[in-house]
Amino acid sequence: MSDALTGQCHCGAIAVAFEPGRPVAELPLRACQCGFCRRHGALTTSDPSSRLRVEAKVGAITRYRFGRRATDALICSACGVYVASAIEAEGQMFATLNIAGVGIDAFAGRDPEPAVYDFETDEAKLARRLSRWTPTVLVETRLSA
């Protein structure tokens, strides 16, 4: 795996380390067209051969569910940045990372692919997410003294 791409929310309460399983130029860059993503200016990436670690101070993550309520949008409780969307399935967490929200510059200069998922069934959405999203570990930590 390549070196980890790191970033954080605006206030630093949530940090991410994205370990690409292939060159960044080969990773997808999407602009979901749902109202939530458009309002947050989200640019997301995910890849099943990559790995994502989300580390947050205890209480820093607000989970927001909308639409079919199947996915948790992980939002910083302090600064309001949308960090990722995550699901838990088959005993594993999977996520799509909002690289714009956490300030990862490795995708700079690329045009995102518009993504519209409005007409997918619940089963199709889950299958797509399991086949495309990144295996993820979420760790909540206490503030150090």
Domain spans in the chain, listed from the N-terminal domain onward: 5-141
Confidence of residue 2 (pLDDT cuts 50, 70, 90): low
How far is the C-alpha of 74 from the C-alpha of 56, rounded, in Å? 10
Q: What is the mean pLDDT of residues 16-26?
A: 97
Q: In this structure, what token pair is assigned to residue 77? A: 């409780």
The pLDDT of residue 94: 97
| CATH code given to domain 5-141 | 2.170.150.70
pLDDT per position as a tens digit, 54-82: 999 999 999 998 877 778 999 999 999 99
pTM (whole model) above 0.85: yes
Q: What is the mean pLDDT of residues 32-53?
A: 94
Which 3 state secondary structure label does DSSP give 94? strand
Share of the chain above pLDDT 90, in %: 72
How far is the C-alpha of 125 from the C-alpha of 5, rounded, in Å? 27
Residues in the chain: 145
Across-strand partners of 84? 74, 97
- Closest to 114 measured CA to CA, from 40, 15, 44: 44
Task: Looking at 41-139, list the stretches that DSSP marks H as alpha helix, in order from N- to C-terminal side.
Answer: 122-132
How far is the C-alpha of 72 from the C-alpha of 138, rounded, in Å? 13
Do 85 and 95 meet the contact criterion of CB atoms below 8 Å apart? yes
